[in-house]
A and B are shown apart, each in its own frame.
Chain A
Amino acid sequence: MANLNSLTISEARDKLKSKEISSLELTNSCLSAIDEADALGAFVHKTPELAIEQAKRADEWLKKENAPDLCGIPLGIKDLFCTKGVESQAASRILENFKPEYESTVSQNLLNNGTVMLGKLNMDEFAMGSSNETSIYGNAINPWKIDDRGLTPGGSSGGSATAVAADLCLAATGTDTGGSIRQPAAFTGIVGVKPTYGRCSRWGVIAFASSLDQAGPMTKTVRDGAIMLEAMAGNDPKDSTSANIEVPKFEAMLNGDIKGKRIGIPKEYRLDGMPSEIEKLWSDGTEMLRQAGAKIENISLPHTKYALPAYYVIAPAEASSNLARYDGVRYGRRAALSSGDGINEMYEKTRAEGFGPEVKRRVMIGTYVLSAGFYDAYYNRARRVRALIKKDFDEVFADGIDAILTPTTPSAAFGLGEMSDADPVQMYLNDVFTVTVNLAGLPGVSIPAGVDKAGLPLGLQVIGRPWEEGDMLNIAYSLEQSAGLSAKPSKWW
């Protein structure tokens, strides 16, 4: 039998319930895989003692009849989630040694389902980045390798993507503000689900841009994504934007039957100079859905090109406000002060040494677009454009389109350091296909759908109607079955 750590959630669930394996065996298998994989930079705070204790407790629960599907499943948790008594620092120096006194709702929901936490996962600092290169912990590295170069796993949930793709855990949590679950999922050949805004509670998730942030699962299969999303989701009075809508049984909705579903192909996503491999991936995916009985329709989302610029006003504006709390007073790092330094010097020095360059850049851009005289020209204009972007989607859904198919990213994973000389805008273009979904609050899922010439994974994105994650996942499931990819990165670490 293959190593237990390479199981999917659904396979492990069946083996745990039939007592073929124990959670402790499964957890130990992941812990060994993690210890052999320091070169990947995925796990930045390991919690083996906690994991073993939780696995033993899960094994007790599994002896009873009522154990949930996720009982005994070992997971990795993105460093952005506050986990009680365990370092939670958003990959930032400013939250050095911060150990929350509370547990985020999403990670608590998972624990209530009997999951095991293996540790915290690398990410871009405060989730700001698309390559995991802004992390205070150093890079996470993509387990896929084609030459001497280390490739990025994408970002911001780069550690989560690496950990799942390299079988260090069965699945991981991620968060997605502009593509931070879906882009790394595409770069590492795994499944990443960004739910409808309001589906998962944001309470206890370190805030980046509150109107865009959503937590979601990163898994090996669509089925696993459905199982895990069901456990993570749910109404939470502690998050005023959490929706009071019942969470459907997502897994039960995966029957692969998509006959008659109307799938929109948006013409605005066909970018000038799009690599032919991405073009082919997209048309192959379209053909697979057609073969499965879906009706393919050309649609138009006319404001697509303005999504990234609108995002780069709105997200930094919200970030500048959210990150104002890091002042060196209540938690995290405080800079050493010189004699005579007052409270302002304390703030300024603390934030200068606590934040990395990308975070500072975005906080300052956000400060600028919100400042007197520019608020209307930048911030309000961006929010009006955002309304138009959402209206584009509302209209195609009102016309009866069930879901939209696009590529997830404009390229396969690139080499670490390759973008370091480019201006910041070049890096932002990674999110060109994903960011519209956050602005419109929609659900989106990336699934591995092909490989490029060099053999690197490429992802397709299915965008669903609001609150229709089940239907969206079923379409993704059909696509996953048709694509039939089973390649895994070969172990070099």
Chain B
Amino acid sequence: MSIDEDTAAKVAKLARIQVESQDLVGLAKEFNDILGFIEQLNEVDVEGIEPMTSVTPQKLIRRSDNITDGDKQTSVLKNAPLSREGFYAVPKVVE
């Protein structure tokens, strides 16, 4: 599997990371180096092996469905880059 510039651009878009067009060649090369390394996994016989979801056999614990926290608007907004009237503020999303 070889990654070209178009694929690199598509991946950058999916990851929501702006990449300048002149940097796409280098990026595609790095991807290919890493993916070339990963390709070794194709040598392994994984027939009948389930993909691992958890290293410990324990089941995920469910907490009871109660409200245990809240009323922390100031605290929640404290680190926001931009907030207004108790909300996070972002550029206009809907025209």
Partners in one complex: yes
Tell me the A residues contacting B by CB distance below 8 Å: 97-101, 197-198, 211, 237, 240-241, 243-244, 303, 305-306, 308-310, 312-313, 320, 324, 327-334, 337, 341-349, 351-352, 355, 360-361, 363-365, 367-369, 371, 378, 380-388, 390, 423-425, 428, 439-441, 466
B92 — nearest CB in chain A belongs to which residue? A342
- Which residues in window 5-39 of B have CB below 8 A to A? 7-8, 11-12, 14-19, 27, 30-31, 33-35, 37-39
B60 touches A309 (CB 8 A): no
**Partner pick for A384 among B52, B63, B79, B80, CB 8 A cutoff:** B52
- Chain A contacts for B39, CB-based, 8 A: 309
**Partner pick for B81 among A305, A332, A367, A441, CB 8 A cutoff:** A332
Shortest CB-to-CB span from A92 to chain B, Å, is 14
A441 touches B14 (CB 8 A): no
A371 touches B79 (CB 8 A): no
Assuming the A-B contacts A243-B56, A243-B58, A334-B81, are A342 and B38 also in contact, with contact meaning beta carbons closer than 8 angstroms in the complex? no
Chain B contact surface mostly: loop
A313 — nearest CB in chain B belongs to which residue? B38
A440 touches B79 (CB 8 A): no
Q: Mark B61-95, 1 if CB is under 8 A from A, else 0.
A: 10100000000100110111110000010111100
* Interface pairs (9), CB distance under 8 Å: A211-B54, A211-B55, A240-B60, A244-B58, A310-B41, A330-B80, A361-B27, A384-B51, A423-B30
- Chain B contacts for A367, CB-based, 8 A: 11, 14-15
B33 — nearest CB in chain A belongs to which residue? A423
Chain A contact surface mostly: helix
Complex Cα–Cα for A23 and B18 (A): 49
Tell me the B residues contacting A by CB distance below 8 Å: 3, 7-8, 11-12, 14-19, 27, 30-31, 33-35, 37-44, 46, 49-56, 58, 60-61, 63, 72, 75-76, 78-82, 88, 90-93
**Partner pick for A101 among B14, B75, B91, CB 8 A cutoff:** B75
A343 touches B38 (CB 8 A): no
- Chain B contacts for A387, CB-based, 8 A: 49-52
Assuming the A-B contacts A240-B61, A381-B46, are A363 and B17 also in contact, with contact meaning beta carbons closer than 8 angstroms in the complex? yes
Assuming the A-B contacts A329-B90, A371-B14, are A378 and B38 also in contact, with contact meaning beta carbons closer than 8 angstroms in the complex? yes
B15 touches A320 (CB 8 A): yes
Shortest CB-to-CB span from A348 to chain B, Å, is 4
- Chain B contacts for A466, CB-based, 8 A: 56
- Chain A contacts for B7, CB-based, 8 A: 368
A310 — nearest CB in chain B belongs to which residue? B41
- Chain B contacts for A303, CB-based, 8 A: 44
- Chain B contacts for A440, CB-based, 8 A: 55
B58 — nearest CB in chain A belongs to which residue? A243
A348 touches B80 (CB 8 A): no
Complex Cα–Cα for A344 and B27 (A): 21
B16 touches A380 (CB 8 A): no
**Partner pick for A197 among B18, B33, B55, B75, CB 8 A cutoff:** B55
- Chain A contacts for B18, CB-based, 8 A: 345, 348-349, 351-352
Shortest CB-to-CB span from A295 to chain B, Å, is 28
- Chain A contacts for B60, CB-based, 8 A: 240-241
- Chain A contacts for B51, CB-based, 8 A: 380, 383-384, 386-387
B30 touches A384 (CB 8 A): no
B40 touches A388 (CB 8 A): no
Assuming the A-B contacts A330-B80, A351-B17, A368-B31, are A306 and B44 also in contact, with contact meaning beta carbons closer than 8 angstroms in the complex? yes
- Chain A contacts for B55, CB-based, 8 A: 197, 211, 390, 439-441
Shortest CB-to-CB span from A87 to chain B, Å, is 11
